[in-house]
Amino acid sequence: MKGKKISIIVPVYNSEKFLDLLVEAVDIEKNKNNWDLELILIDDGSKDHSFKKIFELAKIFKYIKGIKLSRNFGHQIAVKTGLTYCSGDYIAIIDDDLQDPPNLLPSFFTYLDNGYDVAYGVRKKRKESFIKKLSYASFYKILKKISNTDIQLDSGDFCVMKKRVVENMLKLQEKNPFLRGIRAWIGFNQIGVEYERQARVAGESGYTLKKLFKIAKDGIFSFSNVPIRLITILGSLGLVFAFFFSCYILFQYFVNLIPVKGYTSLIIIISFFSSLILVCLGIIGEYIVRIYDEVRNRPFTVIDETINV
């Protein structure tokens, strides 16, 4: 790593109470490894005084760069903003809650020294609730099955990358980025490194169920054609069912010469296919909304204030 500049990108959300712990942990590694460092802290529309805390820390630690977004744009946009403003040869992405400990970074950077372009963390153990762990595991398995890109199971945004990887990631100007998917899509020489994800040092996660669901949608609809193709499969199955059911009704009417009573079955079929049509329209709508987001060509974020940038 001799002569390499290090950039560490940290999205910040309501982290006023423990930001100093994060910076202290990073500073320990900086001094121990003699890093030429820039620490980029992106305040993603925090409701507390996180940016004021960043301002205070930047007075003490001159390598800190602060970016305040005009509102909460979401974790992925915050990270992408940091990638846009970083200038390091080696770039790391970590969370602000010390779940991805800075003391792991030196060993991750070693993989870059040894010829890899990306070393990403693979969580072998999560210190989270059973429901969350089950949800994450299910999502990653589904995504891996249906994705057009080989996305590693249990890999998050925690990673280290060379500058050329970041430059190529930023060429993909998606308005709803799923960064770990983009990282996998661009290729290069990548390796997954297992680590044990720690519990939050303090506070509560900014990842609400709504935000997690949005990231899951971004991952599925950005990297898979299966949902839209599923409509064709369901339509074909419905057509086959309708054909055989029609034959059955005609048989009952002409051969057995009995009136067709089937009111109940008719209501069930109409309800089923009406619901199926709405689901299919919803899937099509997701793709149309994403097309609309892209063609509007709005900036992916708005910056309110910066420090040392």
Q: Could you report the per-residue pLDDT of 137-170, keeping only the tens digit for each? A: 666 666 656 666 666 656 678 888 999 988 998 8
Q: Tell me, what CATH number does 177's domain have?
A: 3.90.550.10
CB distance 4 to 90 below 8 Å: yes
Mode of pairing for the β-strands spanning 303-307 and 64-69: antiparallel
Residue 212 forms part of a structural domain: no
- The C-alpha atoms of residue 141 and residue 216 are separated, in whole angstroms, by 12
Classify residue 153: in a domain, yes or no.
yes
What's the distance, CA 28 to chain centroid?
29
User: Domain check: are 17 and 166 in the same one?
Assistant: yes
149 lies in the same domain as 256 = no
Same domain, yes or no, for 303 and 279? no
- Walk along the chain (309 residues) and give the pLDDT tens digit of each residue: 677 899 999 999 888 888 888 899 989 989 998 898 999 999 988 888 888 999 989 888 999 999 999 888 888 888 899 999 998 899 999 888 888 888 888 988 988 988 899 888 887 765 555 566 666 666 666 665 666 666 665 667 888 899 998 899 888 887 777 777 788 888 888 888 877 766 555 555 555 556 556 666 666 656 566 676 777 777 777 777 777 777 776 676 667 665 656 656 676 677 677 777 777 777 777 777 777 667 777 777 888 888 888
Confirm if 12 and 96 have CB atoms less than 8 A apart: yes
Asked if residue 184 is part of any domain, the answer here is yes
Q: Do 188 and 245 fall within a single domain? A: no
Domain assignment of residue 216, yes or no: no
pTM of the entire structure? 0.70
Please give the residue range of the domain that contains residue 123: 5-204+299-307
Q: Is residue 103 part of a domain?
A: yes
102 domain residue, yes or no: yes
Residues 133 and 237 occupy one common structural domain: no
Considering the domain architecture, whether residues 61 and 80 belong to the same structural domain is answered as yes
220 falls within a domain: no
3-class secondary structure, 31: helix
User: Do residue 193 and residue 265 come from a single domain?
Assistant: no
Are 175 and 44 found together in one domain? yes
The Cα 202–Cα 18 span in angstroms is 7
Q: Are 110 and 9 members of one domain?
A: yes
E strand or H helix at 224: none
Residues 191 and 254 in one domain: no
Residue 214 inside a domain? The answer is: no
Residues 190, 290: one domain? no
Question: Domain count of the chain?
Answer: 2
Q: Are residues 190 and 144 in the same domain?
A: yes
